[in-house]
Amino acid sequence: AQSVTQLGSHVSVSEGALVLLRCNYSSSVPPYLFWYVQYPNQGLQLLLKYTSAATLVKGINGFEAEFKKSETSFHLTKPSAHMSDAAEYFCAVSEGNNDMRFGAGTRLTVKP
Amino acid sequence: EAQVTQNPRYLITVTGKKLTVTCSQNMNHEYMSWYRQDPGLGLRQIYYSMNVEVTDKGDVPEGYKVSRKEKRNFPLILESPSPNQTSLYFCASSGGPATNEKLFFGSGTQLSVL
């Protein structure tokens, strides 16, 4: 079955610095990959998704992620962090069988 | 406004007392799902439903029941709650299979079982 590993349960960056949240996946077939964001006391919202159309995926709020098959990775980046980006981020993988697996999450803190 | 509504937002109960968490969506979505979120474990799927009267187990179905009698509603039932079911629960829906469709999430239900 598919699985996803998020490296780093907590990431802290300064405002204006690069954000890099790491995600590696395991899948026996070409996967569908997602990044979701969870703000405090809210449900998850989709940031972006990869469905094989293009390896570099652009999402909302200036985030993007690059699918690298050779590295089985789907890291999330943003060139310049804003205070409003502080949240928990979840990577998820699906093999097309209605079984979406989520990672454990990475909490992003943005320092002024 | 398109939304998934869960109730209650917070619930404290005692071991063995049956409870139901309601979930309703107003987007005419066919797919609905329940997840529990625990620290360090992310979200784990409890049950999902592809359509009315069609439900299936996720990764952690033990101790839970669901029903899908109508398209908009997908309640989660704990017949005899236990302390290990203390968790944050999310309902989600999408317009198609969870494969590549965006999931819409409710705001969550924080359950404490004493």
Confidence of residue B100 (pLDDT cuts 50, 70, 90): low
E strands, chain B, are: 4-7, 10-13, 19-25, 31-38, 42-51, 54-57, 65-66, 76-78, 87-94, 104-105, 109-113
Question: Within 10 A of A59 (CB to CB), how many other CB atoms are there?
Answer: 17
- Residue A70's contacts (CB-CB under 8 Å, 6 or more residues apart) are none
* pLDDT tens string B5-24: 999 999 999 999 999 999 99
**Closest by alpha carbon to B26, among B90, B97, B104?**
B104
Q: Look up residue B12 and give its amino acid.
A: I
Window 32-91 of A, Cβ < 8 Å to B: 32, 36, 41-46, 49, 51, 90
Partner-chain residue, chosen from B40, B42, B107, that has the shortest CB–CB distance to A102 = B42
CB–CB contact B42 A46 (8 Å): no
Predicted local distance difference test score (pLDDT) of residue A68: 94
Core vs surface per residue A23-55: b (16+ CB within 10 A) or e: bbbebeeebbbbbbbbeeeebbbbbbbbbeeee
What pLDDT does residue A98 have? 67
